[in-house]
């Protein structure tokens, strides 16, 4: 080993350095102790709370990593970007981030006196999926305000608080819990159609996880629109976005409550709130639910036609706004801010392009709300049946799985299925155990929409077929969500990265 002593020494130092990176991110006291001794800083306790050591380790992790995500300590928010990224490749574009893990320039968290601060809050649209950072809606809005506002006592800034796949609940939590620091004069929250999905966390390597940390008991039963395609290799997305059943409605209603609470908190702190409603194809429903706790001037619907117009989207397959789409949104917002007095400390000039955008878009959005598109044609093309059999899954059947069931019918600790009901009063669930002693005696609560209808008690082996009766009020609904919530689970081989409970063979609603 002598000839390689120098190489081995370097590798040992690198190993200790890597251990430190992992230790800091997981609070591993033993590894921190090793680093502290190497650095001469004392024991593990000193290193664990030494801010310079912690920051150095995080910087090293970010530099050496290839992913972009970092776990956030609020389970509802789940994750942000890794801090201080510089030109990190992400899909088709690159990302920089600030110390807070946002795709935004560094800024003073505690708003300086005299600054007019606008926060643009949202998900991938606000993060700016597919476009450069300086092409986003907030950048265009900031230029408009700086060029056409009078009466400002200091700088005017628009900040992007947006992370890809955040849902409404996560967005509201992230801003609400730091509101007295940020002190926005105006919050513009961009709500989009996929805000009903779960909000995945981050794995240690900076990639997305398969669960929402807010619900650790659900294991990896992530509910999102593309779940059927990933689970079964089929072609259709789930129906979650349409909020046809109790699963979608409950999620939308929770989002509405979170929006109303954030709006109240923002106004209580002296600011204004505006919901930019970009829920394509379902504006009537999003306005009814998301805007339920808002005043008329606090909501600005954006017509669905924009998401279908190639002038405003990244590509045929990517409906995120391109630079032109971001600019149009900024003009639309500017005119709403001007005419509704949402920055009362400023006097805003009339901008012809902004006025023209509002004159075109607002009536179109209102007409869409008054005359919502019918699902009839879509339901004629895609079936929703009262029965699912997992030995023969086609595109339409798979789309009825909102999440938590995969090929072979294997069920996660939480699963949700959409079924056609229309007066059917009895639910049958058939399946079998996995031959795993770990799930012997596990209880699975069975719910239909918001009503718990019974419990399955599982055996390690053997098949079951169990009926449950639906309450009359729920049985009359056109569509319902069948929800399965287990109180324990086992790990699936070969990598133990999936949680499973039993194998589902058939779930069906029948007349009696």
Binning pLDDT at 50, 70 and 90, where does residue 378 land?
Answer: confident
The per-residue pLDDT of the chain, averaged, comes to 90
Non-local (6+) Cβ contacts of 414 within 8 A are 215, 217, 218, 219, 221, 223, 403, 404, 483, 484, 485, 486
Per residue in 432-488, pLDDT (tens digit) is 999 999 999 999 999 999 999 999 999 999 999 999 999 999 999 999 999 999 999
Q: How far, in Å, CA of 321 to CA of 323, rounded?
A: 7
25: pLDDT strictly greater than 70: no
Q: Are 104 and 134 in contact (CB under 8 A)?
A: no
What's the confidence (pLDDT) of residue 28?
38
Strands 299-301 and 272-278: parallel
Strand-pair partners of 352 = none
Measured CA angle at 110 (ends 106, 116), to 5 deg: 85
What is the H or E stretch that residue 44 is in?
helix 44-48
183: pLDDT strictly greater than 90: yes
What's the confidence (pLDDT) of residue 36?
37
Q: What is the DSSP letter of 298?
A: G
Average pLDDT estimate for 316-341: 97
What's the confidence (pLDDT) of residue 16?
32
Measured CA angle at 305 (ends 301, 309), to 5 deg: 130
68: pLDDT strictly greater than 50: yes
Average pLDDT estimate for 266-286: 97
The residue with tokens 């200790």 is 16
Per residue in 98-140, pLDDT (tens digit) is 999 999 999 999 999 999 999 999 999 999 999 999 999 999 9
35: pLDDT strictly greater than 70: no
Q: Are 448 and 479 in contact (CB under 8 A)?
A: no
Reference 195, options 171, 179, 221; nearest CA is: 171
Q: How far, in Å, CA of 266 to CA of 183, rounded?
A: 8
CA 471 to chain CA centroid, nearest Å? 32
Binning pLDDT at 50, 70 and 90, where does residue 51 land?
Answer: low
Reference 217, options 13, 484, 16; nearest CA is: 484
End-to-end CA distance of the chain: 78
Per residue in 219-249, pLDDT (tens digit) is 988 999 999 999 999 999 999 999 999 999 9
């Amino acid at each position: 080993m002598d000839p390689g002593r120098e190489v081995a020494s370097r590798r040992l130092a690198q190993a200790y350095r890597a251990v430190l990176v992992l230790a800091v991110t997981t609070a591993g006291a033993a590894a921190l102790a090793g680093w502290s001794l190497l650095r001469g800083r004392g024991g593990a306790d000193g290193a664990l709370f030494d801010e310079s050591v912690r920051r150095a380790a995080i910087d090293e992790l970010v530099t050496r990593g290839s992913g972009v995500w970092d776990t956030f300590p609020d389970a509802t928010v789940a994750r942000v970007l890794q801090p201080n990224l510089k030109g990190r490749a992400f899909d088709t574009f690159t990302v920089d981030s600030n110390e807070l893990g946002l795709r935004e320039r560094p800024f003073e968290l505690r708003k300086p006196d005299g600054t007019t601060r606008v926060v643009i809050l949202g998900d991938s649209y606000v993060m700016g999926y597919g476009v450069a950072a300086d092409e986003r809606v907030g950048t265009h809005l900031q230029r408009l305000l700086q060029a056409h506002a009078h009466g400002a006592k200091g700088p005017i800034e628009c900040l992007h608080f947006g992370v890809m796949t955040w849902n409404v609940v996560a967005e509201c939590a992230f801003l609400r819990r730091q509101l007295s620091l940020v002190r926005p004069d105006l919050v513009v929250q961009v709500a989009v159609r996929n805000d009903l999905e779960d909000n995945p966390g981050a794995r240690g390597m900076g990639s997305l996880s398969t669960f929402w940390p807010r619900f650790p008991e659900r294991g990896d039963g992530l509910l999102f629109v593309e779940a059927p395609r990933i689970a079964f290799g089929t072609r259709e997305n789930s129906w979650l976005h349409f909020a046809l059943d109790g699963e979608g409605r409950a999620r939308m209603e929770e989002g509405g409550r979170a929006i109303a609470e954030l709006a109240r908190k923002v106004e209580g702190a002296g600011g204004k709130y505006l919901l930019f409603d970009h829920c394509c194809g379902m504006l009537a429903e999003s306005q009814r639910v998301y805007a339920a706790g808002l005043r008329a001037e606090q909501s600005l619907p954006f017509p669905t036609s924009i998401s279908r117009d190639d002038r405003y989207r990244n590509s045929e397959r990517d409906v995120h706004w391109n630079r032109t789409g971001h600019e149009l949104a900024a003009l639309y917002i500017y005119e709403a801010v001007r005419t509704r007095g949402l920055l009362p400390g400023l006097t805003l000039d009339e901008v012809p392009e902004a006025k023209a955008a509002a004159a075109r878009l607002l009536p179109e959005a209102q007409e869409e709300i008054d005359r919502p598109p019918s699902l009839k044609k879509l339901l004629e093309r895609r079936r929703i049946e009262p029965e699912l059999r997992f030995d023969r899954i086609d595109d339409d059947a798979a789309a009825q799985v909102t999440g938590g069931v995969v090929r072979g019918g294997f069920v996660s600790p939480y699963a949700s299925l959409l079924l056609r009901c229309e007066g059917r009063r009895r639910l049958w669930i058939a399946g079998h155990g996995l031959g795993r002693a770990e799930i012997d005696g596990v209880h699975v609560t069975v719910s239909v929409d918001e009503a718990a209808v019974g419990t399955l008690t599982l055996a390690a082996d053997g098949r079951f077929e169990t009926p449950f009766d639906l309450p009359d009020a729920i049985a009359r609904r056109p569509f319902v969500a069948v929800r399965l919530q287990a109180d324990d689970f086992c790990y699936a081989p070969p990598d133990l990265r999936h949680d499973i409970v039993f194998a589902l063979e058939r779930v069906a609603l029948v007349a009696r």
